Amino acid sequence: MKTTKLDHIGIAVKDLEKSLSFYEDVLGIKCEGKETVEEQKVRVAFLPIGDTEVELLESTDPEGPIAKFIEKKGEGIQHMAYRVEDIEKAIASMKEKGIRMIDEKPRYGAGGAKIAFCHPKDTNGVLIELSERED
Phi then psi for residue 94, to 5 deg, are -60, -45
What is the pTM for the complete model shown? 0.89
User: Please, are residues 4 and 20 in contact by the beta-carbon 8 Å criterion?
Assistant: no
Q: Report residue 134's pLDDT band, with 50, 70 and 90 as the boundaries.
A: confident
Cα separation, 23 vs 120, in Å, equals: 27
Quick: pLDDT tens for 85-130. Answer: 999 999 999 999 999 999 999 999 888 899 999 999 999 999 999 9
What is the amino acid identity at position 80? M
Query: What is the number of other CB atoms lying within 10 angstroms of the CB of residue 3?
Result: 13
Residue 82 has pLDDT above 80, yes or no: yes
Domain architecture of the chain: domains with CATH: 3-132 (3.10.180.10)
Strands 3-13 and 52-59: parallel
Query: What is the number of other CB atoms lying within 10 angstroms of the CB of residue 130?
Result: 27
